[in-house]
Amino acid sequence: MLIAALQTVSTPRVDENLDHARRLIAQAAEAGARLVGLPEYFCLMGLTDRDKLAAAERPGDGPIQAMLADAARRHGVWIIGGTLPMRIATGTGLDTGLPDRVLNASCVFAPDGTLAARYDKMHLFRYDNGRENFDEGRVLQAGSEPVTFDADGLRVGLSICYDLRFPELYRAMMSPPCDLLAVPAAFTHTTGRAHWELLLRARAVENQCYVIAPAQGGLHENGRRTFGHSLVVDPWGEVLAMREEGEGVVLATLDPARIAQVRMQLPALTHRQPRWM
C-alpha cells in the first residue's frame, strides 16, 4: 500500500488551511496513495491557544469534518485527519460543550466518506525552557482510550504528537500487533531537533511496524516554528522518505511482507513477558 504523510504550515484561517489540505490530499491520491495522513492542527494554527475554542466542532458536524469526509469519498482514500478541536459533550442534551476546554481529536475517514475511527489525544504537552512556554492543558482535555482501526486489512494505531514520548500507549495497541502507527504532530523546532526522528524510529523498531508521521513544518504567523521532517519509517527503523520543511507530500510503500520478515527474523513481540503486558 502506498501511504502519504502530508506536511503543512498552517495559518490562523481555517478556510485557507482546508484549501491547502484539499490540494495536498488530491496530490497524494493522484500519486497513487491509498492512505493519507494530515498533521496535528492542519486546520488551525491560531494566534493564541484559545482560538481552538472558537473553531471547535461538534462530533459529526462542521466544515473541517465535512472536508475530510468529502475528500476521502472523492478520492477513494483512507484519511487520517491530523487533528481538529472537538467540543466536549456536557451531558445536558444540548451538546454545547465545555466553554474553556476542547478535545484534540484525530478523525479517520474511510474511502466511502464514513467516519472509521476517532482518537482523542491522551498526553498533553507542557514545556518551558525559559524562552518557550507551552501548556496544552490550558485549553485541552485529555482523552482516555487507545484507538485502532482496520484499513484494507491493515491494523492501524492512532496517536498524536506528544503521545510519542509514552511507549506504553503503543504497547497497549499491539494485541494483536499493528501494521502501522500514525503520529500526526506539530512538534516545536526545539524538541523536534532533539528527539523527533529518534523517538519515531524507536516506536517503529520496538513495535516492528511502520510509522507514518505527518507534521507541521515551518514558521507560523503566531511566531511558532514547527520542526517538520514529516516521514515514514519501516519496521527495522529505516527512514523511507522525509520532507524537512515546507508544505508537501511524503510518499512511501507499506509492505506487509517486510513486516513479516522483520518479525520472523527477530521475533521480539513474541518474547514479551506476560507480567509486563
Q: For 91-142, what is each residue's pLDDT tens digit?
A: 544 454 556 899 999 999 999 999 999 999 999 988 888 887 778 889 999 9
Residue 80 in contact with residue 39, Cβ under 8 Å? no
d(CA 163, CA 151): 22
42 phi and psi angles, rounded to 5 deg: -55, -25
d(CA 35, CA 75): 10
DSSP annotation of 178 = P
Return the C-alpha cell found at 160: 498524536
Query: Quick one: pLDDT at residue 193?
Result: 95
Q: Which residue has the cell 520478515?
A: 261
Query: Quick one: pLDDT at residue 275?
Result: 67
40 flagged as catalytic: yes
Query: Quick one: pLDDT at residue 201?
Result: 98
Return the C-alpha cell found at 94: 444540548
Catalytic entry in 40, 57, 136, 245: 40
The predicted-structure confidence for 171-190, as pLDDT tens digits, reads as follows 999 999 999 999 999 999 99
Low-confidence ranges of the chain (pLDDT < 70): 90-99, 275-277
DSSP annotation of 102 = B
Residue 186 in contact with residue 39, Cβ under 8 Å? yes
At the top level of CATH, which class does the domain 2-264 belong to?
A: alpha beta
Catalytic entry in 43, 161, 178, 209: 161
Computed from CA positions of residues 222, 225, 229, 231, in that sequence, does the dihedral angle turn out positive or negative?
A: negative
d(CA 110, CA 72): 6
pTM (2 d.p.): 0.95
52 flagged as catalytic: no
121 flagged as catalytic: yes
How is the chain split into domains, by residue range? 2-264
Catalytic entry in 121, 197, 209, 245: 121
**Residue 176 CB neighbour total at 10 angstroms:** 9
Residue 210 in contact with residue 187, Cβ under 8 Å? no
Residue 159 in contact with residue 181, Cβ under 8 Å? yes
**Residue 213 CB neighbour total at 10 angstroms:** 31
Query: Quick one: pLDDT at residue 129?
Result: 87
Return the C-alpha cell found at 130: 525559559
The predicted-structure confidence for 231-240, as pLDDT tens digits, reads as follows 999 999 999 9
